Copies of this chain bind each other. A is one copy, B any other.
């Protein structure tokens, strides 16, 4: 990455462009020309801030991790059950829903992580931000007696895995499992509730 930090506004604009292009084309077919087209400026304009396509994607993932962490943290507040349901609505997407194409692209990026050092760290940041936010919500729910005495990290990890994994057979393959998946995560959330 260039020595100068990227100005906040440009960073956000480029992250948006990367996200839009990734959602449409996926990772392997993504080019800086496609990112530039979404950015509305030349490729040279992108390379002024970032040295490679990989660094643009990494910056996008960091930006998204920050935003997602904030969004989910904002849910926590005073009603952990509602917060966890809202988080699941955000994380379990259906084909065609906003963000669904991006989930498929992130699944593709994850599959490249074993071979790609530039992507691994920001992907860990993204998954960790989600995991922490979910664990915080569950923790708050246990503390407030809304949830049973479940393990917040185990519950969050299992729920994040289910949300991530729904992307493959539900979004990418468009298998007819939307209602089953929703019934599945809703029943799981119900099972977390304290008796009474």
Could you mark each residue 181-194 of chain A with 1 if its beta carbon is under 8 Å from any beta carbon of chain B, else 0?
Answer: 10111011001000
A108 at the B interface (CB under 8 A): yes
Mask, A154-181, CB within 8 Å of B = 1, is: 1111111111111111101101010011
Given A161-B162, A165-B160, A165-B161, the answer on whether A110 and B184 have CB atoms closer than 8 Å is: no
- Each complex incorporates copies of this chain amounting to 2
Within the assembled complex, what's the spacing in Å between the Cα atoms of A157 and B175? 11
Describe A's contact surface by its main secondary structure: helix
Which bracket fits the contact residues of A?
Answer: 35 or more
A113 touches B181 (CB 8 A): no
Produce 1/0 per residue, A116-142, CB < 8 A to B.
000010011001100100000000000
Q: Is A12 an interface residue (CB 8 A)?
A: no
User: Do residues B184 and A155 form an inter-chain contact, with CB atoms below 8 A?
Assistant: yes
A5 at the interface (CB under 8 A from B): no
User: Are B154 and A107 closer than 8 Å at their CB atoms?
Assistant: no
Is A48 at the interface (CB under 8 A from chain B)?
no
| Complex contact A183–B107 (CB within 8 A) | no
Asked if B112 and A158 make an inter-chain contact with CB atoms under 8 angstroms apart, the answer reads no
Nearest to A25 among chain B residues (CB) is B115
B158:A164 contact, CB within 8 angstroms: no
Q: A131-B177, A158-B185, A175-B124 are in contact. Are A104 and B114 (CB under 8 A)?
A: yes
For the complex, what is the distance from the CA of A180 to the CA of B32, rounded to whole Å? Answer: 38
Would you call A26 an interface residue if the criterion is a C-beta within 8 Å of the partner chain's C-beta atoms? yes
Closest to A184 in B: B158
Separation of A120 and B172 alpha carbons in the complex (Å): 9
* Minimal beta-carbon separation of A110 from chain B (angstroms): 4
Give 7 pairs: A residue, B residue, CB < 8 Å, sorted on A.
A27-B111, A101-B114, A110-B169, A111-B172, A154-B187, A164-B164, A191-B191
